[in-house]
Chains A and B, each alone.
Chain A
Amino acid sequence: MKHNLLTITLIGILLFGSLVAGIYSLASSDSFDAEAMEVANQLYSTGSYAEAGQVYEQLLSQGMANSSLYYNLGNAYYAQGDLGRAILNYQRASRLNPRDPQIRENLALARTQSVNEAAVASSNPIQSLADFSSSWFTLNETALLTLGLWFLLGFLFIAFRRIQPGKMRSFTQYGLILTALIFLMMGISLGTRLYTEQIRPEAVIIADQVTINSSPGDEFTTDFSLSSGAEVEVLDVQGSWAHLALPNDILDGWIPLSTMETVSQMGSFDKTIF
């Protein structure tokens, strides 16, 4: 018995120690140009919103992705009346820091200013799970939680096999089942978010107004149009045209690529391609 407990403890230390070491090795801390951010903030506070936005954009283009930067840039665009880019940057800030109340408030405010109809919550339970996850955890956090649960699952499985029948083993068994259930939910949430990011990335209309075409080409116009700030999903790209759909597939059509930008900058529709 003692020997078993010792072995289990050693396995646990080895397993979780490897996990922590692995995560630390993956973590990177990019140097942040706080001074430049102060300059931009100063420009913003004196009303030079365009110049402030210019500096924020430059910092972001140098790879300093930070939720505060995106948030401030969103404010700069909002102050200039550019709702589309304001919502876009608030969304990006929210991706990096979904629990921040300031980001939530300003995003909600910008959405109320937008003339487009608000998106209806998904009735699909899997998508609802992913939406709930994305409103509380970043993608990185979700991935780490899922990985941690996977390690816990492995540890509990080994412990369950080594422990002799008794109370301890029953306790371990229940823990194993519970962990498996939570892991399944987190895994589905992570998988859905990754799938959505790759297959149906979210985008925001940044042009003042864009007509939705039934096919890629200027001659296929319809009576439907979208205003700046409309939040859409990109289904496909052909040449200089993007096939988009409104959330829950209420409507779909084609618009010029230059009239929209994707929220995620890890997908294949990165703004630098435009």
Chain B
Amino acid sequence: MNRKPKIYITVLSTIFLSLLSIPVYAQAPTVITAEVDRSTLTTDEYLILSVTINTGSAAASEPRLPALDGFDIVATSTSTQLSIINGVVNSEKVFHYTLHPSAAGEMTIGPILTDQNGQAYQTAPIKVSVSQGTGQRQSPPQPAAPGFPSLPSIAGFPSLSGLLQSFGLDNQPDIQGPVEPLDSAKLPSELRENEYLVEAEVDNASPYLGEQVVYTFRYYRPASATGRSIYEPPEFSGFWVHPETSETQFGGQFAGRKIHMTEIQTILTPTILGEVEIDPAKITSEGDIFSRGFTIQTRSESISVQPLPEGAPQDFSGAVGNFNIAAQVDLEQAKVNDAVTLTVTISGEGNLETFTDPQWEVRPQWRAFDSQASTDIQVEAGTIIGTRTIKQVLVPTTDGELTLPSIEFSYFDPQAGTYQTARTEPFSIFVEPDGQAPAPVSIEEQHSQAGTTGSLLPIKNTPDTDFFPSSLINKPGFWLLWLLPVVLIFSHFSWQKRRENILDNQGTRRGRKAAKKAYQALKKKNPESGGYFNAVGHILIDYLSDKLDRSVSGLTQAEISGLLLAHGVDHDLVKQVRTCKTISEMAQYAPIHDVNTGQFHQEIKSLIAELDKVL
């Protein structure tokens, strides 16, 4: 083949393929774009940044925002657009960010990035000019409504919206139950620009301490809104909060749209004086399968709580509102020791749940038991109304006409701005002298009741005898008693062992008593009597025999000395023993006149004492 036809074929093929790719390139949409709803704003206003990602048929991943210096993200949401062109489904997801500028100046929102099909894309930077505002921050504009994306209709095909509705997947209203009609004249003007709006207010910005305040929260939204919305009330620090809130649903038309409104009322009672701030209340919408949720909140509310005026009555116990008091007794005639129930009822509107019950005097003729109170309240038109009932059991202790004096109840009326005192009428009860306790039910009656009817057995008329009314195991003395047998056993066996040791060693026993025995013997001997020296010699020998645990009477002086030395007695003592023994032996044969008997007596005693230390 010639070269020229080959070249022509190559060039024509290239041109043809290029022409074919043009529609592809022409049809390929921009992957990511970003725009703002305004380019100039003040620090009081908000900016909505919308980032659109066109993914074709693939799912869109979250765009990566740059560091938004100078802006705070207040809310986020998403919405999705589907389109079908020439049989090709195209998905476009829009990410909305509500931004609030934190300072004035020229701001730049940097490129926003995304990765689609393995490729990176980015937007162009956006310049925004922020000027200083007055400080009166506006309500944030609402991001794009959640709910189903708008679905175009296609000629020749049923609308997808219609198809979804036939499957029940269309927009369902989020309100259940009765709906009151909306008064469009009372709606806030911000609702014209915002589909979603929250607001809060109090009915009294300067209440008295203890005066009721109604906190009203309202949440406006399109009637077509779906998804769950969660109400987060404020903390209400500084207030007592009535546990039940009232919730009312409203619906109607406004600015050509069908809207719903939920109103939640909470009754508060301020408990501290001065400026008290109520934090913003929030609504968090969880969104649905096509859109992300969002959170919006109200402004803070400030309340100035006024102190109650001076001059409160002495019995004032913190009741604020408008009240009446009534009292009654269940018996107008009784006997001594009968029980009479006094019922005091306080009714009206105000802080029934928080004031202290009134106290009243009980005269000496009565014995009073602790009172018990109960409260029955309902909320009407944002006001707590009800009764507080106090019951007290009284027992007359004397007979005659006894009086229960008037009971006073003071309260502060905020409408009148003054303290009021309501009082009951006094009661007279005629008490007869003989009051007897009811006859006790017999044991036979009790058993017959239980056996035949199975009904409850009656009460006991007398207390049981409890020898140990309180718990023994909580007393330390109980646990100390457990040691007693142990101590006794230990002592017993210790004593027994010691006794056995002593009995087994007679010699030791004798030796321990030798000195005492010798002293007693010496005491009996009169130094002036005849045979004194002889007797003392025997006493000394007996002593040495007991101490050495052997008889020494037949031993010689030398043998005795040797024994003593072997037992550790020193030479001086041994010499004294020999001297005493010698004098004693000599006295057997002849009287001794050159030895002072008294001195000798003392010397013998000292000698025994010294020997006792060593032996």
List A residues at the B interface (Cβ < 8 Å). 11, 14-15, 18-19, 22-23, 25-30, 32, 34-46, 48, 50-51, 54-55, 57-58, 64-69, 71-72, 75-76, 78-79, 96-97, 100, 102, 105-106, 109, 139-140, 143-144, 147, 150-151, 153-155, 157-158, 161, 194, 266
A102 in contact with B469 given A19-B481, A38-B337, A154-B485 (CB within 8 Å): no
Min CB distance A32 to B, Å, is 5
**Interface contact A50-B477, CB-CB below 8 Å:** no
**Interface contact A48-B475, CB-CB below 8 Å:** no
What residue of chain B has the Cβ atom nearest to residue A72's Cβ? B459
**Interface contact A41-B461, CB-CB below 8 Å:** yes
**Interface contact B484-A15, CB-CB below 8 Å:** yes
List residues of chain B with CB within 8 A of the CB of A151. Answer: 484-485
Apart from A41-B461, A151-B485, 20 more pairs, CB < 8 Å: A18-B484, A19-B481, A28-B469, A32-B463, A37-B462, A42-B437, A48-B339, A54-B393, A66-B464, A66-B469, A67-B466, A71-B459, A75-B459, A96-B464, A140-B471, A143-B472, A150-B482, A150-B485, A158-B489, A266-B474
What residue of chain A has the Cβ atom nearest to residue B395's Cβ? A39
**Interface contact B489-A154, CB-CB below 8 Å:** yes
A27 in contact with B456 given A139-B473, A151-B485 (CB within 8 Å): no
- 15 A–B contacts, CB within 8 A, in A order: A26-B475, A28-B470, A32-B463, A39-B337, A39-B339, A40-B339, A50-B372, A51-B341, A51-B393, A54-B369, A75-B459, A109-B454, A147-B478, A155-B485, A158-B489
List B residues at the A interface (Cβ < 8 Å). 330, 337-339, 341, 367, 369-370, 372, 391, 393, 395, 437-438, 446, 450, 454-464, 466-475, 477-478, 480-482, 484-486, 488-489, 492-493
**Interface contact A66-B463, CB-CB below 8 Å:** yes
Min CB distance B480 to A, Å, is 8
Min CB distance A38 to B, Å, is 4
Min CB distance A53 to B, Å, is 9
> Which residue of A34, A44, A55, A153 contacts B485 across the interface (Cβ within 8 Å)?
A153
**Interface contact B456-A15, CB-CB below 8 Å:** no
Nearest 5 CB-CB pairs, A to B?
A154-B485, A68-B460, A72-B459, A38-B437, A140-B468
**Interface contact A39-B393, CB-CB below 8 Å:** yes
List residues of chain A with CB within 8 A of the CB of B450. Answer: 105
**Interface contact B464-A67, CB-CB below 8 Å:** yes
CA distance A150 to B484 in the complex (A): 10
What residue of chain B has the Cβ atom nearest to residue A19's Cβ? B481
Min CB distance A192 to B, Å, is 13
Min CB distance A4 to B, Å, is 11
List residues of chain A with CB within 8 A of the CB of B454. Answer: 109
**Interface contact A43-B470, CB-CB below 8 Å:** no
What residue of chain B has the Cβ atom nearest to residue A266's Cβ? B471
CA distance A150 to B488 in the complex (A): 13
Min CB distance B276 to A, Å, is 27
List residues of chain B with CB within 8 A of the CB of A25. Answer: 477
What residue of chain A has the Cβ atom nearest to residue B393's Cβ? A51
Min CB distance A137 to B, Å, is 12
List residues of chain A with CB within 8 A of the CB of B481. Answer: 18-19, 22-23, 147
**Interface contact A78-B456, CB-CB below 8 Å:** yes
List residues of chain A with CB within 8 A of the CB of B473. Answer: 139-140, 143, 194
> Which residue of B372, B472, B485 contacts A26 across the interface (Cβ within 8 Å)?
B472
CA distance A27 to B478 in the complex (A): 10
**Interface contact A147-B446, CB-CB below 8 Å:** no
A102 in contact with B460 given A50-B372, A139-B473 (CB within 8 Å): yes
**Interface contact A54-B370, CB-CB below 8 Å:** yes
What residue of chain A has the Cβ atom nearest to residue B439's Cβ? A45
A26 in contact with B438 given A67-B466, A154-B488 (CB within 8 Å): no
Min CB distance A15 to B, Å, is 6
List residues of chain A with CB within 8 A of the CB of B337. Answer: 35, 38-39, 42
List residues of chain B with CB within 8 A of the CB of A143. Answer: 472-473, 478
List residues of chain B with CB within 8 A of the CB of A105. Answer: 450, 457
Min CB distance A18 to B, Å, is 5
CA distance A45 to B462 in the complex (A): 14
List residues of chain A with CB within 8 A of the CB of B459. Answer: 41, 44-45, 71-72, 75-76
CA distance A47 to B60 in the complex (A): 75
What residue of chain B has the Cβ atom nearest to residue A157's Cβ? B489
List residues of chain B with CB within 8 A of the CB of A147. Answer: 478, 481-482
